[in-house]
Structure 1
Amino acid sequence: MIPIDLWIVEDDAGYRRNLRTSLEREKHIKVSRVFPSCIEFLAAVQEGAAPDLVLMDLGLPEMSGVEGIKKLRKMAPDITVIVLTVMEDKKKVLQSLDAGAAGYLLKSSSVREIISGLQQVFVGGAALSPEIAKIVLEEVRKPSPEEAFNLSTREVEVLEQLAEGLTVKEIAGKLNISRATAAFHLGNIYQKLNVQSQTGAVAKALRAGII
């Protein structure tokens, strides 16, 4: 298995140290850098460094995690962020997903659940703690204003498969199209919905009643 190069952005030194120790017990995870703030993290990215995945808290000093994710999307959109926080606030959850987070895990999750989330996102999936998935589903049930995103039938089909947790490769197989075509549709979806990640696309499509 290809090792995951992971960075952690967390201001609680004790939790950060324990989390790093626990994750590095896994042979396929390497926590190469840790940061106490988004400012230091973004400075490292600006210097050209790039991990495979980032675990980021939201309640950070000077710059919130949500703001950090937004800035990262402009600087290095290929870097994938998974939120790891104590916050279950609905507004923060939706803001994080819309900003581009590929997952939202709670610190109450077990180490095994966090590792599972990392693995899912690493292969192109998404990761949501059960409590967060419930928040997203509750948001789906709410009536929302009709928005004209002009998605094609095929793009809606791709979104529906994303909502089922399928990767781009799996979607291509399910819809009997090439992986390149599936990726092309996904790019169009991002542009039309004005989002930066698969979870963001699914969350917005669900809230708008598209799927």
Structure 2
Amino acid sequence: MIRVLLADDETIIRAGVRYILTTEPDIEVVAEASDGREAVELARKHRPDVALIDIRMPEMDGLTVAGELRSTTPQTGVIMLTTFGEDKYIERALDQGVAGFLLKASDPRDLISGVHAVASGGSCLSPLVARRLMTELRRAPSPRSEVSGQRTTLLTKREQEVLGMLGAGMSNAQIAQRLHLVEGTIKTYVSAIFTQLEVRNRVQAAIIAYEAGLVQEVDLNG
């Protein structure tokens, strides 16, 4: 059973997310918090596998909560619930050890798959967040772009292709379907990419993919 802490100051958001999660037989919402300080206290008490945290909350913002959880309950994987206007927080969130980003308006399937991924030690990046990030980075290229480009030259052509799709927010299953490969092969590629780039999760790898110019617009339904 995957035990989840849900923290958001909007009651209706908590109710909606809780409803979606509880449709899965292996997910249980063990606690809910309406502010950041309460979220930290409940995480210490319940030791959840995954914490879904709103970025903007009273008492203590979500990014501060993520930092606290990294210190006090490091076994808890943190997913930030974001809106379109909050992409600027992603780099700071990475420093706090956040494992994923999901839009509050995400497809319920993205929410469920994200919780499963983070609970198993992985990470998640909403396709919509990925697209927004790509747009922002094209508008204002990072000074790290040249460095990221050099780092990705360590990868094979196939690994670069996989990294670009990962950066676009595609899941391993979607990448496998696009490349006509089995999902296990994609997992092997992703693991090798993480090792070569010295990153911990898909979000960090995606940032490098954007900065290196490997991400292209993709039809996630195709």
Q: Tell me the TM-score normalised to structure 1 length.
A: 0.70
Deviation at 1:80, TM superposition (A): 0.7
Match of 1:78 among 75, 79, 82: 75
Deviation at 1:40, TM superposition (A): 1.5
Structure 1: runs of 5+ lacking an equivalent: 191-196
Does the CA-based 8 Å contact 1:117-1:126 persist in structure 2?
yes
Instruction: Give the SS at the match of 1:78.
Output: coil
Which residue in the other structure is 2:127 paired with? 130
Show the 5 A alignment for 1:109-120: 109-120=106-117
Which residue in the other structure is 1:101 paired with? 98
Match of 1:206 among 186, 206, 209: 209
Deviation at 1:53, TM superposition (A): 1.0
Distance in 2 (alpha carbons) for counterparts of 1:89 and 1:66? 12
Distance in 2 (alpha carbons) for counterparts of 1:87 and 1:173? 32
Q: Does residue 23 of structure 2 align to residue 20 of structure 1?
A: no
Deviation at 1:132, TM superposition (A): 0.7
Match of 2:31 among 30, 33, 40: 33
Identity across the alignment (%):
30
Instruction: Give the SS at the match of 2:51.
Output: strand
Match of 2:43 among 42, 45, 51: 45
User: What's the C-alpha RMSD, in Å, of the aligned pairs?
Assistant: 3.6
Q: 1:16 is aligned with what amino acid?
A: R
Does the CA-based 8 Å contact 2:163-2:209 persist in structure 1?
no
Does the CA-based 8 Å contact 2:100-2:203 persist in structure 1?
no
**Cα separation, partners in 2 of 1:203 and 1:140, compared to 1, 3 Å:** farther
Does the CA-based 8 Å contact 1:97-1:203 persist in structure 2?
no
Q: 2:198 is aligned with what amino acid?
A: I
Q: Tell me the TM-score normalised to structure 2 length.
A: 0.67
Distance in 2 (alpha carbons) for counterparts of 1:151 and 1:206? 10
Does the CA-based 8 Å contact 1:8-1:56 persist in structure 2?
yes
Count how many residue pairs are aligned between Structure 1 and Structure 2: 194
Instruction: Give the SS at the match of 1:88.
Output: helix
**Cα separation, partners in 2 of 1:26 and 1:140, compared to 1, 3 Å:** same
Instruction: Give the SS at the match of 2:212.
Output: coil
Deviation at 1:87, TM superposition (A): 4.5
Which residue in the other structure is 1:189 paired with? 198
Instruction: Give the SS at the match of 1:108.
Output: coil
Deviation at 1:56, TM superposition (A): 1.0
Instruction: Give the SS at the match of 1:43.
Output: helix
Higher relative contact order (CA 8 A, sep 6+): 1
